[in-house]
Amino acid sequence: MKQSPAGKVRLVSWQIDQIVDELPLFMMRLEEFTNLLEEKLDFGAFKFCFIVGATIVVSPFLNINVFFLSSVVYSQTLFFYRTTSCRS
């Protein structure tokens, strides 16, 4: 269903209002979480957990990037061999 520009503006303004309303609660929860981390973990354990978590989040993107780059390199190599073999 297509929305009119006015409807899109209303929807975006409603979503912004929702974010603004929820932001103080989110900040309070984030502060509680950081206080809990400071109580339970020393810096070395936090660093380890952070690296493991970041690796879990980033690894699918790296796999996609490696696949994309390998396909680009393969297609460029194939193009190079086609153009050089046609010249000979």
Q: pLDDT tens digits for 37-47?
A: 788 878 888 88
In b/e form, how buried is each residue of 34-71, taking b as 16+ CB within 10 angstroms?
Answer: eeeeeeeeeeeeeeeeeeeeeeeeeeeeeeeeeeeeee
Q: Judge if pTM exceeds 0.75.
A: no
d(CA 88, CA 82): 10
Task: State how far the Cα of 87 lies from the Cα of 22, in Å rounded to an integer.
Answer: 65
Spell out the domain ranges in the chain. 1-40, 42-88
Q: What is the pLDDT of residue 88?
A: 44
How far, in Å, CA of 70 to CA of 59, rounded? 16
